[in-house]
Chain A
Amino acid sequence: MPGPVKLPRPPDDPQLQDLDGVAVAIARMDYGQHTGVIWRDEESNGGLFLLHLRFHYQLVREPLPKTYHWVEACLPAERAIHVAELCSVVSQRYNDGRLAYAFQYRGGGFDLVSGTLLSATGRGLSCATLVPAIFSTVGIDILDLPTWPVRPEDRGWQEKIIRLGRKRAPHDSVHWDYLSSQELGCFRYRPEEVATGAGFGQLPAKFDDVVGPAARLVQQLPVVCLV
């Protein structure tokens, strides 16, 4: 059971300005959903920021755009501070944005041995796996990863991303070849599932509990163009 659930809220919800902890952003775009972590940076006049992986080598920290719905993470205030401060540290350490885009994620956060922001088994992260990777680095698992099934329809989306990658970053063909041969068809944690799961009172969220509300969330989201 997910326990008490924090529901998605629209961008103009006044409670966003009172957000003390952290939230997961979610938006629907023409190419699919996109997600990231929202936090308040005390050292930047207490403003709200979004940390997200826009695409390959595009880890971005920016003032929160007014187009994202958001789900407040169901965490004790003290633990939410950890996620928020880690976002600040990460955005500072990776201010060149150089975080590779990849599909495979089997848990874990940063590779603490090499110091790189990389999952233990993958070659990078996606916009969706960045979120659990951040939370996981401070000991919070938001998704119960082993409960996620491989869904055949995700393969088509992954192929589309690889094609886009080859077009936008052709110099990195070795990377796209690797994704194509090693990661294509793997589990996919969809952005709306990450956002929905973060709002569950009982973490980590299980696939069966998340999948229904996540699908309904997508239907509620307006399509926006952020790029």
Chain B
Amino acid sequence: MQTDLETRGLPQFRARSQRLPTAPPPTDGHFPIDHPCGSSALMNVDPAVATSFPPTGTLVGTSLVAPVPLHNSLQSNFRGLESGSWTLDERIILVFATPIEGGGEATGAVPSYEFSSAPTSVKNCNLARRKLQALHLSATEVTVAANPGVADEPARVWIEKVRRLEEQKGSRAAVRKVFEEMLALIQDAAFSTVDSILSVVAPESFSSEVSLAFLAITSRIRDPLPSRRALYERTFAWLASRREADETEALMRGLD
């Protein structure tokens, strides 16, 4: 089932482009390879790429993003090395996404740009770096971390959407929305996204039934989510400040 979250591109892990400091190209012709994608300081930054990547979708891992003029002979230098590409402003943006450090896997999905989901190897990425250097082409290193905070921003956007829905259509419509979307995420085993959402829920922004809905629909997930306990505590404290103790206890029963 596709959810609003998915169609807007909130993935399990969210890519975030990182603008790197501009540095002159190396003078000795060699790249020190101390990282799957080398040292970021050796790469010139192209602001257009840094701000446009990723347009939508996901990319997990350490990646090299290189805008190359739309020129067949230039592109052919990188054939087979890249994990994906798309066009932008008369350039082709090559992406060299490698497996994330620590055992994770790089994945990419930018449907509107037909970005391949297959990551390239570290070796290919380093080879591409050397070719880029030889051709005096700039590139941007994109560091993508699989940490829950990365997804905060889109989670907040979605939470705001639920809040507006409650404002406009009432709490039952908001509860239904929470259930539909969260069940779909749980069904897809997108627990990291679920956890990101729970981490940004502010109980005081909703009616009690909507606040509790986030806890209710996640109450049977077998593996504990790091943010769920914190949300339980926040919700309990918020209710306890407004209700009698026994009422709070009855509302929270079964949700811990």
Interface, chain A (partner B; CB < 8 A)? 42-43, 76-79, 81-82, 84-86, 88-89, 93, 108-110, 112-115, 136-141, 203
Contact A138:B219 (CB < 8 A) given known A78-B209, A114-B187, A115-B187: yes
Q: Return the CB mask of B216-227 against A: 1 if under 8 Å, else 0.
A: 110111100000
Q: Assess whether B254 is in contact with A82, with CB atoms less than 8 Å apart.
A: no
Q: Is B183 an interface residue (CB 8 A)?
A: yes
Q: Assess whether A82 is in contact with B213, with CB atoms less than 8 Å apart.
A: yes
CA distance A182 to B255 in the complex (A): 32
Nearest CB in chain B to that of A77: its residue: B209
Q: Assess whether B183 is in contact with A79, with CB atoms less than 8 Å apart.
A: no
Contact A85:B175 (CB < 8 A) given known A76-B247, A139-B255, A140-B254: yes
Q: Assess whether B209 is in contact with A82, with CB atoms less than 8 Å apart.
A: yes
23 sample A-B contacts, Cβ–Cβ < 8 Å, listed by A number: A43-B176, A78-B208, A78-B209, A78-B251, A79-B216, A81-B172, A81-B209, A82-B216, A85-B172, A85-B176, A86-B179, A89-B179, A112-B183, A113-B186, A113-B187, A113-B189, A115-B183, A115-B188, A137-B217, A137-B220, A138-B216, A138-B217, A203-B253
Within the complex, the shortest CB–CB distance from B238 to chain A, in Å, comes to 13
- A141 proximity list for chain B (CB < 8 A): 254
CA distance A136 to B172 in the complex (A): 19
Contact A76:B176 (CB < 8 A) given known A113-B189, A115-B187: no
Interface, chain B (partner A; CB < 8 A)? 1, 170-173, 175-176, 179-180, 183, 186-189, 207-209, 212-213, 215-217, 219-222, 247, 250-251, 253-255
- A140 proximity list for chain B (CB < 8 A): 253-254
Q: Which of A42, A78, A84 is B173 in contact with, Cβ under 8 Å?
A: A42
Apart from the given pairs A78-B207, A137-B217, 4 other A-B contacts in the complex at a CB distance below 8 Å? A82-B179, A85-B172, A137-B219, A138-B216
Number of A-B contacts (CB under 8 A): 81
Nearest CB in chain A to that of B184: its residue: A115
Nearest CB in chain B to that of A141: its residue: B254
Within the complex, the shortest CB–CB distance from A68 to chain B, in Å, comes to 23
Nearest CB in chain A to that of B215: its residue: A139
Q: Assess whether B187 is in contact with A78, with CB atoms less than 8 Å apart.
A: no
- A137 proximity list for chain B (CB < 8 A): 217, 219-220
- B220 proximity list for chain A (CB < 8 A): 108-110, 112, 136-137, 139
Q: Assess whether A139 is in contact with B209, with CB atoms less than 8 Å apart.
A: no
CA distance A115 to B216 in the complex (A): 16
- B176 proximity list for chain A (CB < 8 A): 43, 85, 88-89
Within the complex, the shortest CB–CB distance from B256 to chain A, in Å, comes to 9
CA distance A99 to B173 in the complex (A): 26
Nearest CB in chain B to that of A74: its residue: B250
CA distance A109 to B171 in the complex (A): 24
Contact A42:B216 (CB < 8 A) given known A82-B209, A141-B254: no
Within the complex, the shortest CB–CB distance from B252 to chain A, in Å, comes to 9
- B254 proximity list for chain A (CB < 8 A): 139-141
CA distance A140 to B219 in the complex (A): 9
Q: Which of B170, B187, B247, B251 is A112 in contact with, Cβ under 8 Å?
A: B187
- B255 proximity list for chain A (CB < 8 A): 139
Q: Assess whether A81 is in contact with B189, with CB atoms less than 8 Å apart.
A: no
Q: Assess whether A76 is in contact with B217, with CB atoms less than 8 Å apart.
A: no
Within the complex, the shortest CB–CB distance from B1 to chain A, in Å, comes to 8
Q: Which of B172, B251, B253 is A42 in contact with, Cβ under 8 Å?
A: B172
CA distance A176 to B26 in the complex (A): 72
Within the complex, the shortest CB–CB distance from B200 to chain A, in Å, comes to 21
- B215 proximity list for chain A (CB < 8 A): 139
Nearest CB in chain A to that of B255: its residue: A139
Q: Assess whether A81 is in contact with B175, with CB atoms less than 8 Å apart.
A: yes
